[in-house]
Amino acid sequence: MKLMSFFKLAIVILVLFLAQPMMFAKVLNTDCNAVSSLIYNNNFISGDTATTLKGTAKEKFKNKSLDLIRKQNEKNIVKMLHNRKYFYSGRRRVVAYAGMPYDSHGKPKVGEIISKLNDLGVNCYSYLIDSHSKEELSSLPSFCALALKSGIEVWVVLVPPSEEPGHPGLPDTLRYPPYGLNYVKWARDVSSISKDYKNLTLLMIDDFAYNMNYLTPKYMKEISASMKTVSHNLLLGVTIYEDQLKMKKFNFKPYKKFINAVEWGYQHNAVLSPQYGITAASLPVNINNFRKAFPNTLLIPCLYFTPHSSWKRKATEAYLNEAMTIAYQDAGVVLIFRTPVPGSVNYNLVKDFCIEHRITQK
C-alpha cells in the first residue's frame, strides 16, 4: 500500500515537473520556446536552437493576426506623421539617446556631440539632463542652435523624483540644480528655450508610473500649463512600460489630456521578455497596445542597444536591425539607447540604417 502511494506521488511530481514550463509560459503570456530562449541569453543553448526559437516566436505572433495589426499601425502612423501639432510633422525619426561628452568642469561638449550625430545620420537627439544638470540646462540653447542648423530635432529628458542625482543628504536644489524637483520651473525654463529654437519640441519625464504619487494629475496639469503660458511649441511626454498598462494600481486616464508622447523600453525586463535578443516579433503588438491606450500621442519605442539594469546580455545585430525596422515602420520613431560609440558595431548598425532609409536632417 505504501509502495502504491509512493508510486502515485512520484507520478504527480513528474507531471508537475513536466507541466512547469507550460505554467510559467502562461503566466508570461508567451510560449515554452520563448521562455526557453532565456536559457540561450545565458549561454546554455546553441545558436541553432535560438534560430528555432525565433521561428517559433514569429509563428506565434502570426497567429495573432500580425498582418492586420501592422496594417492598423501603418494607418495610425500616417495619421500621426501629418499631425500639425508636431514641428517636424511628416517625417519619421531616428533618435539618439544621451551619450553627451563633457569637459573637465562638467560642461557639455555640444560641438562634439553634434558632429557625432551628423556622422551617425540621426535626425533627433534625446538631451538628458541628469548629473550635470545646471551645466546641461545652461548649454541647451547653444546645443539647440547647432542642432537646428543640422535639421536635428531636440527632446529634453528630465529625471524623475526616484532617480534624483546627488547625495540624499543635500538640499533638493543642490541635488538637481537649479530647480530640484520643481518640474513647473523646469518646464517653464525649457519652454522658454523652445520659443527661440523651434527644433526643441518635447519635454520628457522618465519613469513616470513609478512616481505618480509625486506627479499627480493636478501637478501634471500645472506643469503643462506652465509650458503653454510661455510657448505652445513644446510638448509633454512620459515614460511608461507595457506591463504597467495592465496594472490596476496605475490609472493613466486622468493624465491623458496632458500627455503628448509616451516612451517605453521594449522588452525591458528579463523575466517578462525572455525572447530579448532573439526576435522582435512582438514589437508590432507592443506598439498596437500602446496606440490603443494612448490613441492621440506620439509613440516612442526605446530599443536597448546596450545592457541595462534589467538586462545584462547584449542583443544580436540581427535582432537590432529587425527591431529598428519594425519601430521605424510601425511607430515612425526609433529611439536608440544609448548613443553608440563611433567605430563600434552598434554605431555602424545605426549609421547603415540611417543611410538605407535615407533619414533626412534638413
Q: For 70-356, which CATH superfamily applies?
A: Glycosidases (3.20.20.80)
pLDDT at residue 25 is higher than 60: no
Mean pLDDT lowest for which of 53-57, 125-129, 208-212? 53-57
Nearest to 183 by CA among 218, 139, 231, 210: 218
Residues 89-102 have pLDDT tens digits of 788 999 999 999 99
What residues contact residue 302 under an 8 Å CB cut-off, 6+ apart? 97, 263, 264, 265, 266, 335, 337
Average pLDDT value for residue range 214-227? 97
Question: Percent of the chain, pLDDT > 90?
Answer: 65
Residues 6+ apart with CB under 8 A from 142: 110
Q: What is the pLDDT of residues 112-139, one digit of tens each?
A: 999 999 999 999 999 999 999 999 999 9
Q: Given a cut of 90, is residue 223 above it in pLDDT?
A: yes
Which residue reads 490609472 in cell numbers? 251
Domain ranges of the chain: 1-63, 70-356
Torsional sign, CA 172, 175, 178, 179: negative
Indicate whether 42 pLDDT > 50: no
Mean pLDDT of 57-65: 58
Which of 296, 293, 267, 208 is CA-nearest to residue 28? Answer: 267
Residues 6+ apart with CB under 8 A from 33: 52, 53, 56, 57
Name the residue among 304, 229, 296, 315 with its Cα closest to residue 258: 296
Q: Which residues contact 263 (CB under 8 A, 6 or more apart)?
A: 204, 237, 238, 239, 240, 300, 301, 302, 335
Instruction: Note the pLDDT of residue 129.
Output: 98
Cell numbers given for 247: 496594472
What's the average model confidence in pLDDT over 287-302? 94
Q: How far is CA 213 from CA 177, 219, 249, 317, in A?
A: 22, 10, 11, 39
